[in-house]
């Protein structure tokens, strides 16, 4: 058995608690210390998991027996905490997003280069079955060359008291929410974005400081194009805070959430309807094997509600993989330069969204 390591979780709210639950029975875990600026958050994780807690960051940074920190505080603190931890000799897993500005992103990448530290950003879609399946299909050429990625996300809003509605804490909706989907499309396509245009209109939710009504159209160096549509929706069920949605966290379709992708290639296409729990792949007239006949569905994948976590939100596999990697001295599965490219796109898209008149920006 490999060695067990001591871990700290910085930010012990909802996601911090999830991380603790994910790694508590890892064979690579020695012990966990929770750090937060809120006594209330610490009390909850202490009561639930019986872990040691502190409001003193220095206690974590100066403890050389702590080898890995998971960062799950609000978005504005990810980079400062990551840099402090790397400089203190620790491996880092930080929740998305990282870097609300280019300067912040650059300072993070520079600190990683300077220290050589392990750092991985929480982009858990890349660990999730339905996203991995689509990646495999694309890489195996099942749809020919991908030429168009169209994706739509709408979700019910956070409550007025949530830190996410504030620009200073959240960045933007592109940073806070859409970075996951922007990242996965980049990953699927494997090409650099070289131009984009962002349009937006009046907010849907009046108390949101961040924009909640935005379209992004962009193109990749390999010639594919992509269109992202996002809007907040008023939940038809009346459960309008997505953090405290319904009595069942994964009944998102009932709360008005939609997350759909259409990936079109030169021979076929893949459609994913995340909250209806279905992937459909088909060949279309572009595939010579069809000899001009009608399109043919080649694969349908469905999953059960109980598999939601594994299929589209697999933080558990990610968080367990990261402690294993650090304990074994393995590199991150997603390099910081790769994550940084997604985060830079988020900064650019967010900035462009504020500009008028809208214009195509070349990179």
Ligand X SMILES: NC(=O)c1ccc[n+]([C@@H]2O[C@H](COP(=O)([O-])OP(=O)(O)OC[C@H]3O[C@@H](n4cnc5c(N)ncnc54)[C@H](O)[C@@H]3O)[C@@H](O)[C@H]2O)c1
By CB under 6 A, name the binding residues for ligand X.
10-16, 36-38, 41, 72-75, 77, 95-96, 122, 124, 163, 176, 315
In the complex, the smallest distance separating the C-beta of residue 43 from ligand X, rounded to whole angstroms, is 11
Q: Which is nearer to ligand X, 119 or 137 (CB)?
A: 119
d(CA 105, CA 293): 50
Helix H or strand E encompassing 81: helix 78-87
Q: CA nearest 339: which of 119, 114, 127, 110? A: 119
Q: 119, 112 in Cβ contact below 8 A?
A: yes
d(CA 99, CA 109): 10
d(CA 150, CA 140): 20
Residues 6+ apart with CB under 8 A from 175: 75, 97, 100, 343, 346, 347, 350
d(CA 154, CA 207): 17
Strands 5-10 and 29-35, bridge-based pairing: parallel
Structure tokens at 125: 């879609």
In the complex, the smallest distance separating the C-beta of residue 77 from ligand X, rounded to whole angstroms, is 4
301: three-class secondary structure by DSSP: strand
- What are the φ and ψ backbone dihedral angles of 195, each rounded to 5 degrees? -160, 155
Name the closest residue to ligand X (Cβ): 13
Tokens 């997603």 correspond to: 334
Residues 6+ apart with CB under 8 A from 140: none
- For 207, 243, 263, 273, the CA distances from 239, given in Å and listed in that order, are 17, 10, 31, 21
d(CA 303, CA 18): 22
Exposure pattern of 17-27 as b/e (b: 16+ CB <10 Å)?
bbbbebbeebe
d(CA 176, CA 97): 6
């Amino acid at each position: 058995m490999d060695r067990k390591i001591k871990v700290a979780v910085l930010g012990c709210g909802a996601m911090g608690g999830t991380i603790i639950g994910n790694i508590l029975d890892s064979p690579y875990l020695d012990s966990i210390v929770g750090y937060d600026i809120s006594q209330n958050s610490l009390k909850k994780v202490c009561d639930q998991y019986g872990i040691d807690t502190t409001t003193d960051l220095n206690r974590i940074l100066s403890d050389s027996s702590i080898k890995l920190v998971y960062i799950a505080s609000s978005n504005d603190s990810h980079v400062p905490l990551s840099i402090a931890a790397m400089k203190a000799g620790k491996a880092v897993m930080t929740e998305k997003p990282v870097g609300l500005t280019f300067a912040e992103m650059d300072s993070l990448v520079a600190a990683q280069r300077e220290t050589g530290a392990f750092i991985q950003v929480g982009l858990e879609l890349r660990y999730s079955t339905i996203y991995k399946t689509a990646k495999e299909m694309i890489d195996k050429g099942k749809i020919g060359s991908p030429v168009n990625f169209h994706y739509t996300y709408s979700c019910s809003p956070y409550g007025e008291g949530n830190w996410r509605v504030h620009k200073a804490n959240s960045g933007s909706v592109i940073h806070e929410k859409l970075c996951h989907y922007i990242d996965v499309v980049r990953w699927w396509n494997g090409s650099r974005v070289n131009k984009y245009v962002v349009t937006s209109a009046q907010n849907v939710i009046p108390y949101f400081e961040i924009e909640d009504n935005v379209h992004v159209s962009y193109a990749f160096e390999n010639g594919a194009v992509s269109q992202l549509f996002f809007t907040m929706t008023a939940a038809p069920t009346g459960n309008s805070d997505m953090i405290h949605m319904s009595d069942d966290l994964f009944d998102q379709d009932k709360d008005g959430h939609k997350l759909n992708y259409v990936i079109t290639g030169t021979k076929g296409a893949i459609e994913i309807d995340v909250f209806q729990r279905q992937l459909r792949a088909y060949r279309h007239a572009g595939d010579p094997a069809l000899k001009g006949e009608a399109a043919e569905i080649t694969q349908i994948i469905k999953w059960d509600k109980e598999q939601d976590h594994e299929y589209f939100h697999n933080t558990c596999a990610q968080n367990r993989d990261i402690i294993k990697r650090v304990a074994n001295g393995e590199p991150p599965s997603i390099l910081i330069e790769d994550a940084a490219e997604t985060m830079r796109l988020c900064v650019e898209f967010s900035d462009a969204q504020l500009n008028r008149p809208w214009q195509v920006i070349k990179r």
